[in-house]
Structure 1
Amino acid sequence: MAQRKKLPQAAVTTTIDSLAHDGRGIARVDGKVVFIDEALPGESLEFVYTDNRRDYAEGKVQTLHSRSAQRSEPQCPHFGVCGGCSFQHVSDAEQIKIKQLLLGEQFNRIGKLDIPQIWPALTGPHWGYRTKARMGVKYVAKKGKVLVGFRERRNPYLAEIDSCKVMYPLIGENLTALADMIAGLSIKDKIPQIEVAVGENACVLAFRVLEPPTAADQQRMAEFARQLGVTICLQPKGPDSIHPLDGETEVIPSYSLPAQGLNFNFRPAMFTQVNYEINRQMVSQALEALQLSREDRVLDLFCGLGNFTLPLATLAGQVIGVEVDQPLLHHARANAALNNLDNVQFHAADLSKDVSDQPWSQLKFTKVLLDPSRAGAAEILHNFRHWQPERIVYVSCNPSTLARDAGILVNELGYTLVKAGVMDMFPQTAHVESIALFVKS
């Protein structure tokens, strides 16, 4: 572990040189790199140290001497305390420019590639867009109150917030009411988190409960749910244990892709994209880039519950989706049936391991779509020598692993990077969602 040094107490004057990938300003003080929260390139300021290590230090702005033209007033009163957002001090237009520049820098530095053509950024709502979240819950006995929300910035404690501007408004604007309801339960100190799942048809809150709620607790929860217009479920163990309150009917949230005429059902704890507007644009862009026809056999790796697999199947001859998570695969198959798609197959496989002996892997594919986790897809890429796809669309939630994998595809496997770009899936945060197109050279 890097060695920590004693924190200097006095404020320090400096000028910000550049921006880090997480949105912090970068300055150099006495030869050491300092990452400073809420600071923008070109700004002169005073900061105080919040951490000091052998190789780098961290700080926060105390006084601004000059303001960047890109600076914006945060809309949330909890910005700076709550760790959910880190970019509210940057104008909406500038946020996406910064993310695009970061993507290019990562491709250049890690993948040793230049992006030949930049896709125009996909943009949508900047506030109230978040339809999925895991919110922490904490009963604070000393204060006699319940906190509901997200952790403090760079701190394990829950932030004391009463609203969240990026959350779907029905939830984001009612955090206080939700906390007050929990405070009246007998198990108020036995609820560590709430899984929020907002579908187009329903808003479901799954309460993780370490002890069963009493009948009175369940009545209080049900009454609150009716007043707010949400559905409350209980989760006594793992995600598969989520079930309705006693006497309540199970509600299955869903979302749609109107351009492809598709509907998806999902369970509250399952992974879905948090921003429906951007997801719709993203799926349409991926389909267009792949140039699909009924002659194509397409492989969808890390397919989840079929967010890309089913749209691919509306245009291609055959689509195979591969995913390690069995509950997601179960729902993917159910969603294929729901949409009357019979040219889709789903297979379970850990794509971080060798899959060359699996029957589906021994086929040839004309097109491939990848949508991996933050770890990327490096382990599966060597299989492309056998599959020989003409086109690859890679959707990524981590520009550094996308850049690494792009380097492998181009420099080792003979593909050409055609274009890449960013998608504003998480406005007000430093999270970068991106997409890249590769073609066989």
Structure 2
Amino acid sequence: MRPPVAQPLSDPLLIERMADGGQGVAHIDGKLCFVDGALTGETVRAALVRRHSTYDEATVTDVLNASPQRVSPPCPAYTRCGGCVSQHQEHAAQVQDKQAQLAEKLARISGVQPATWLEPIVGPAWHYRRRARLGVRQVSRLGSVLVGFRERRSSFLTDMHDCAVLDARLSALIDPLRALIGGLSVAAQVPQLEVTATDNEVLLVMRHLVPLTDADRAALAAFGAAHGVRWFLQAAGPDSVHPLPPGGDRLPTYRLDAFDLELEFGPLDFTQVNFAINQQLVPLAVDLLAPVAGERVADLFCGVGNFSLALARRGARALGLEGEAALVARARGNARRAGLADRCTFEQANLYDDVPAAQTRIGRCDAWLLDPPRSGAQALCAALPRPAPARIVYVSCNPATLARDAGLLAGQGYRLARAGIVDMFPHTAHVESIALFERT
């Protein structure tokens, strides 16, 4: 899909507010228009890039009256790359807008507001992203391979040479990876790379659609030695991932310093991409839940044990439920290594389509911790067991589904005691948040 051709608008636009996706909102003859690169209160010239029946999309071509929040984006690819949408706005203002977005969703969708707003959790605004999936594409007309994120409104990849939000070690590898993959026999059959930077190493998972030659493997091994990275190869589904060369299959780890924990995860396992924010998020979640020693706490969508092990370290008896068998096994291993196997139980459960069975496994718990995907935890929140947990901490990556589920919990006698945003993805439209519900 080629990016759309912009059509300049004859009249300037007044930006009324910010939309959820990080665009400015204006009206053209009464019709809603979302404007990339604009900020509230600005007067801009813009070009129309796409029409829809109920709204249009445009992009800024000139700023006539700039907002005091406007800054110069440091990334030379910013106007083309779809990885970020808010580099032209001060970071502190981005955080304020995300908190306002959460408040608006809670009020409009569920009609609830927290009794207390938490201070936003913030961390480094640049080079914060430790994990990412980068697209790879051989482009004949350029005579090179592209490695990076997709362009805005396009399936094309951005012609980029570094990235201001990726960990600096990952950013520095973009050009060397372009050159490396361009020299492989399978260059046209490499669609993506999964990249990870831990505290002490860098891992790269290369998806390849056809078998590698011996020369390809030798080139990858030489690159790994020269750049200090470890390669994993993926020829098919996630189960096909294996290290190159054989024998280098030790798993990467991340730390939770507040609990003296080190957790292993697989190259494709879900973990938070912003390790610095996760170091703050987990202690906050545990403090909000405030488990008393011996209390039984359910960690639902537990992954590799990110919250479960911290809760157990605090003295709780943690039950972690997760839909993926590989993650359950990983969580059990992490508990054993931390000496917490006697306080943690991990089981596989379908938390979407078979809630009655999941509720049977959960049983009676004093508190819950929910950390679901973007679709939220609607089925669980709509069918709480009796007696219901006294406290629920909900970590969300989608304000709309959090607000929906907050309404379900309010209807079952819970009050929203505290809520706030977690700035997991600066300069993007992604809004992470955390909320504490207490049974009244």
| 1:60-110 Cα shifts (integer Å, max 9, x gaps) | 011111000111110101001010000101101111111011110111111
**Paired residue for 1:409?**
409
Q: Say whether residues 1:245 and 2:230 are aligned partners.
A: no
Runs of at least 5 residues in structure 1 that lack an aligned partner in the other structure: 1-5
Whether 1:280 and 2:272 are equivalent positions in the alignment is: no
Q: What whole-Å deviation, never above 9, does each CA across 1:217-250 have from its counterpart, x for those lacking one?
A: 1111111111111111110111121111245522
- 1:354 & 1:208 partners in 2: Cα distance? 33
Deviation at 1:183, TM superposition (A): 0.6
TM-score with structure 1 length normalisation? 0.96
State the Cα RMSD in Å.
1.5
1:347 maps to amino acid: E
CA contact (8 A) 1:130 1:167 kept: yes
Residue number in structure 1 paired with 2:324: 325
Q: What code does the residue aligned with 2:352 have? A: S
Match of 1:73 in 2: 72
Contact 1:298-1:316 at 8 Å conserved across structures: no
1:3 aligned partner: none
TM-score, reference length from structure 2? 0.96
Asked if the contact 1:121/1:423 (under 8 Å) is kept, the reply is: yes
Structure 2 partner of 1:293: 292
For residues 168 and 39 of structure 1, what CA distance do their matches in structure 2 show? Answer: 27
Answer with 370-379 or 218-227: which moved more: 218-227
Partner of 2:386, secondary structure, is helix
Give the Cα–Cα distance (whole angstroms) in 2 for the partners of residues 68 and 30 of structure 1: 24
Residue 172 of structure 1, CA deviation: 0.8
The answer to whether the 8 A contact 1:385-1:413 is kept is no
- Between the aligned partners of 1:188 and 1:12, the Cα distance in structure 2 is 46
Give the conservation status (yes or no) of the 8 Å contact 2:359–2:385: no
- Does residue 43 (structure 1) correspond to residue 11 (structure 2)? The answer is no
Change (3 A) 1:256 1:29: same
- Point out the more displaced range, 17-26 or 292-301: 292-301
Taking a change above 3 Å as real, the CA distance of residues 344 and 184 of structure 1, as seen in their structure-2 partners, is same
Which residue in 2 is equivalent to 1:108? 107
8 Å Cα contact 2:207-2:234 kept in structure 1? yes
1:368 paired with 2:383, answer no
Distance (Å, rounded) in 2 between the aligned partners of 1:296 and 1:33: 51
Give the equivalent residue in structure 1 for 2:338.
Answer: 339
Instruction: Flag the 1:35–1:261 CA change in 2: closer, same or farther, 3 A.
Output: same
* Counterpart residue identity of residue 291, structure 1: A
Aligned pair in 2 of structure 1 residues 362, 198: CA closer, same or farther (>3 Å)?
closer
CA contact under 8 A between 2:230 and 2:244: conserved in structure 1?
A: no
Corresponding position of 2:20? 21
The alpha-carbon deviation at position 198 of structure 1 amounts to 1.9
CA distance in 1, matches of 2:333, 2:424: 26
Query: What is aligned with 2:427?
Result: 428
Letter paired with 1:380: L
Report which stretch shifted further, 29-38 or 225-234.
Answer: 225-234
SS at match of 1:65: strand
1:163 partnered with 2:162: yes
Q: Report the more deviating stretch, 85-94 or 244-253.
A: 244-253
Count how many residue pairs are aligned between Structure 1 and Structure 2.
435
1:56 counterpart residue number: 55
Indicate conservation of the 8 Å contact 1:353/1:380, yes or no: no
Paired residue secondary structure (1:207): strand
Aligned equivalent of 2:195: 196
Amino acid at match of 2:57: E
- SS in structure 2 opposite 1:384? coil
For residues 7 and 223 of structure 2, the distance between their equivalents in structure 1, rounded to whole angstroms, comes to 49
Q: Which whole-Å CA distance do the structure 1 matches of 2:14 and 2:161 have between them?
A: 34
Which residue identity is paired with 2:405? D
3-state DSSP of counterpart to 1:426 = coil
64-73 vs 311-320, which moves further:
311-320
The answer for unaligned runs of 5 or more in structure 2 is none
Would the alpha carbon gap of residues 215 and 343 (structure 1) be closer, same or farther in structure 2, given more than 3 Å must change?
same
Q: What's the CA shift for 1:9?
A: 4.9
> Once the two structures are aligned, what percentage of the paired residues are identical?
41
User: For 2:362 and 2:269, how far apart are their aligned partners in 1?
Assistant: 30
Q: In 1, are the aligned partners of 2:355 and 2:379 still within 8 Å (CA)?
A: no
Q: Give the drift of 1:422.
A: 0.5
| Offset from partner CA, 1:238-288 (integer Å, 9 cap, x none) | 112111124552242100101101111111111100111110110000111
Q: Distance in 2 between the 1:252 and 1:179 partners?
A: 26
Question: Is the contact made by 2:193 and 2:205 (CA closer than 8 Å) also made in structure 1?
Answer: yes
